[in-house]
Structure 1
Amino acid sequence: MVKNKTTSGDGIYPYYLKNGKLRYEAYAFNGVDNGTGKQSKKHKKGFHTYADAKKWKKVTEGEFADEEYIHHNLSRLKIKDYLNEWLNVYKPNLKLGAKINYRQTIDFYVIPYIGNYVLSEYNTRTHQKYINSLMCDKNIGKDNNGLSLGSVKKVHDLISSAFNQAVALGILKNNPAKGVSFPKKKQDDTLHYFTYQETEIFLEEARNQKDPAWYPIFLTIFDQGLRKGETLGLEWKDIDFNKNIMHIRRTRVFAAENKKKWTYVVDDPKTISSIRDLPMTNRMKQALLSYRNYVIGIFGHLPYTGENQFIFIKTAYNNEIGTPFRGQAINPAMNRIIESQDLPKIKVHDGRHTYAVRLREAGVSLDDIGELLGHTDAKTTRIYAHITPEIKERAVDKLETYLISKQNASVH
């Protein structure tokens, strides 16, 4: 390429390709960078005509001017642009899983609704209308009937936190998300779980599945109370067979995993309280010992996936043998077992509820249940304070025993 720069000083220069064809390159200038003291500019080449190069230069320098205006008038930022900056610049310590959830919330439930509003023009009245719309939009929500009250509050809390940052930075005078009310929405607050008999039927059928991993996988949920990500994030080093302890030290971040590239992403558990040591039930220990011997029998060792020696890997699927189970595989397996045994339909996370209810029925205190589940807030565990039929019977039995003892004492 042979350049033949003009002396016009307009930042547009002709040059010739090796084949002799004429092209133009252009430089768009944006003043001096305050950090480096050097000229800030943008360069592009390959234009077929001088007019095309000049047009690009004019548009680009116009964009620079708009950016400079917004830089000095940040309240003119659009909400979508501000939220992107807030997430990337002001939330650097978010855990990977939390950051992905924030990103998805912003992309799915904020930008499509209010993303194009200018910060300074967004007010509490507009925010109230937005909150109302999330609860009645027929295109979102599990049943296409709007988001649940809990989900709407999470979206609101994210936006309010971002606006609080804008107030602290002097971009906004006040937080327009403050002062809104949440419409009442009828919700199903019923706690779903299996009875003891239903749990045993389910686990027995899990033994009969094509891949032997399903039985210990579901045991970690029903007998240990693990979250799905914690279950599939378990490694063999987390199991202390001598002390009968299961160490919860990580979770899989399914939203960050790419199935096509066979990537597996792990992160610290949900909260500090989620890092915990759990005594194993006897059948949990025996199931893991049996499964461990089975895996070694197939591979001759306990396989690694990169740096991770995940416990639960596929052994019954020819094209995926040796690969760790993915999060989306558990739901179909659970539904398949439930349907085959005509059991009540519950979700995977309800297996964790089942674990907590069994503990409650066994007389374990709510504080201890919260610690075993890895809850940070005691209020979260309060959902298990309700009285099941088994607890009612036990309470009445205790009352009956007490009354008999008092009657006997009065006779004597």
Structure 2
Amino acid sequence: MASFNQYELKSGQKRWEFRAYAGTDTGNGKQRKVHRRGFKTKRAAQDAARLIEAEIVKSSRVTNNNDNAPLGEYLLYWIDNLKVNVKSGTIVKHRHNIMYYINPRIGEYKLKDYSFNVHQKFINSLFTEEGAGRSKNGFAWNTVLSINETLSNSLEKAVRLGYIKTNPTHRVEFDRRFKPEVRKTRYFTKAQTDIFLEVAKKEHLILWYPFFLLMFDCGLRLGEDLALRWSRIDFKNKILTIDINRSYNSETHVNEDGVKDMFIDTPKTTKSIRKIPLTDRAYTALKSLYNDTHQSDVIPIHPVDTNKIRLDDFVFIKPNGKFSGYPLAHTTVQVAMRRICIRGNLPWLNVHGCRHTYGVRLRESGVSIDDIQDLMGHTDAETTKIYAEITPKIKEDAVKKLNDLLDESSRNIN
């Protein structure tokens, strides 16, 4: 049974908190309690306490009667207690798969009864489920792969814990009739990029030009661009340091100002931590933005500490309006991207396409695949190989080199 208490903030406002009994620690024999606070009403605290107590009961059922526990309860226990040492974005993805795709369809199966045959039928049904997915005729290939990945990860842990003997997801097959054709990488040509950037310069907010320019000229990911700080820009040597990332898909908590709290994390892989040379125009754009938004010409240098990041250190913050002083939201970027494409009479390109454009420009400039991999922060060389595809520009340059060689040979003969 939970206990409730009202307390007072420094501002004089009243809030409620609760403590719920969560069993006894088998290691030391002491009681375990869950403490939550910050509720505006006692009713809100009571509702939250009931949910916590229900989860405690479910977790107890899983750990004490593991093979008879429903698959859905085990999955929730796994994501809350067993899936550790992974990035927040991975947790968000798995939790979404569990809540929206898996538990509503197969969550009532007993863990011990979820066999390979059951799993194969489940996977097959996802491709053809009526009313599901964007097509309303079944879920997309990548969605089904993602759902299977969640089940495979969670049930592999169940095997290790001794809850089940084998992982029923092993050797599952995916009907290749539903596998989409490989889509060509979408990017802007140099002329299209120039038009886009010229239109961006005319935007009401002056920050849109340098924001997108860093994607086109430095290959920043959206989360890296949103998390960029002045203290990580070396203006003297024209170098960007990328060492943190905004996990915007994990930003769900709305604070008292009505803004979603930022979720700052280290990049997913060590390869993503990198130093990127600034192009001349990117350097000029950032220096101009700094001069327009700061009184001092001195760029502050703050220590790297993801737990104590200052808002005024972020490069791209909203200069006015209700949320003035806060960094940009990723949805705001997507809206701006579409708006600039429309105003420039350009084909629609998603935000990540700016980074693809950077990769293509590097390749057209003769940069090796290995160097492109390092500049873009790819861990897997296979990811970078999409830029090995021959573009019209590369074809033209190749033919020009061949013509030059043939002309030189002809002159030597004569």
Q: TM-score, normalised by structure 2?
A: 0.79
Q: Are 2:342 and 1:339 equivalent residues in the alignment?
A: yes
CA distance change for structure 1 residues 310 and 133 in 2, over 3 Å: closer, same or farther?
farther
Q: Are 2:238 and 1:244 equivalent residues in the alignment?
A: yes
Q: Counterpart in 2 of 1:327?
A: 330
Rounded to whole Å, the distance in 2 between the matches of 1:344 and 1:196 is 14
SS across alignment from 2:228: coil
Q: Counterpart in 2 of 1:50?
A: none
- CA shift, 1:297, in A, is 5.0
More deviation, 105-114/171-180: 105-114
CA distance change for structure 1 residues 193 and 98 in 2, over 3 Å: closer, same or farther?
same
Rounded to whole Å, the distance in 1 between the matches of 2:278 and 2:68 is 57
- CA shift, 1:389, in A, is 0.5
Q: Counterpart in 2 of 1:295?
A: 293
SS across alignment from 1:405: helix
Whether the 8 Å CA contact 1:252–1:265 is kept in 2: the answer is: yes
SS across alignment from 1:223: helix
Q: Where does 1:30-109 land on structure 2 (aligned, <5 Å)?
A: 34-37=26-29, 71-109=63-101
Match of 2:199 among 202, 205, 230: 205
Letter in 2 for 1:75: D
Rounded to whole Å, the distance in 2 between the matches of 1:32 and 1:326 is 43
Match of 1:269 among 243, 253, 267: 267
CA distance change for structure 1 residues 349 and 141 in 2, over 3 Å: closer, same or farther?
farther
- CA shift, 1:36, in A, is 4.7
Rounded to whole Å, the distance in 2 between the matches of 1:342 and 1:169 is 58
Rounded to whole Å, the distance in 2 between the matches of 1:200 and 1:261 is 34
Q: Counterpart in 2 of 1:55?
A: none
SS across alignment from 1:154: helix
Whether the 8 Å CA contact 2:62–2:73 is kept in 1: the answer is: no
Letter in 1 for 2:382: K
Whether the 8 Å CA contact 2:218–2:358 is kept in 1: the answer is: yes
Rounded to whole Å, the distance in 2 between the matches of 1:343 and 1:30 is 58
Q: Counterpart in 1 of 2:389?
A: 386
Task: Provide the identity percentage.
Answer: 39
Rounded to whole Å, the distance in 2 between the matches of 1:39 and 1:320 is 44
Q: Where does 1:165-184 land on structure 2 (aligned, <5 Å)?
A: 165-184=157-176
- CA shift, 1:109, in A, is 2.4
Whether the 8 Å CA contact 1:97–1:267 is kept in 2: the answer is: no
- CA shift, 1:349, in A, is 0.6
- CA shift, 1:104, in A, is 1.9
- 1:337-374 deviations in Å (ceiling 9; x for gaps): 11112111110011111111111111111111111111
Q: Are 2:356 and 1:353 equivalent residues in the alignment?
A: yes
Match of 1:131 among 108, 123, 126: 123
Q: Counterpart in 2 of 1:156?
A: 148
What 5-or-longer segments of structure 1 have no aligned partner?
Answer: 1-28, 42-59
Q: Are 2:111 and 1:119 equivalent residues in the alignment?
A: yes
More deviation, 167-176/179-188: 179-188
Report the RMSD for the aligned CA atoms in angstroms: 3.1
Rounded to whole Å, the distance in 2 between the matches of 1:140 and 1:330 is 29
Rounded to whole Å, the distance in 2 between the matches of 1:144 and 1:247 is 44
More deviation, 362-371/121-130: 121-130
CA distance change for structure 1 residues 341 and 279 in 2, over 3 Å: closer, same or farther?
same
Whether the 8 Å CA contact 2:59–2:73 is kept in 1: the answer is: no
- 1:126-185 deviations in Å (ceiling 9; x for gaps): 212222233334555455554432332232122112211111221111111112111122
- CA shift, 1:391, in A, is 0.5
- CA shift, 1:402, in A, is 2.2
Letter in 2 for 1:312: F
Rounded to whole Å, the distance in 2 between the matches of 1:353 and 1:94 is 26
What 5-or-longer segments of structure 2 have no aligned partner?
Answer: 1-20, 34-52, 303-307
- 1:178-228 deviations in Å (ceiling 9; x for gaps): 121111223451211111100110011001111101001101111111111
CA distance change for structure 1 residues 269 and 139 in 2, over 3 Å: closer, same or farther?
farther
Q: TM-score, normalised by structure 1?
A: 0.79
Q: Counterpart in 2 of 1:363?
A: 366
- CA shift, 1:84, in A, is 2.0
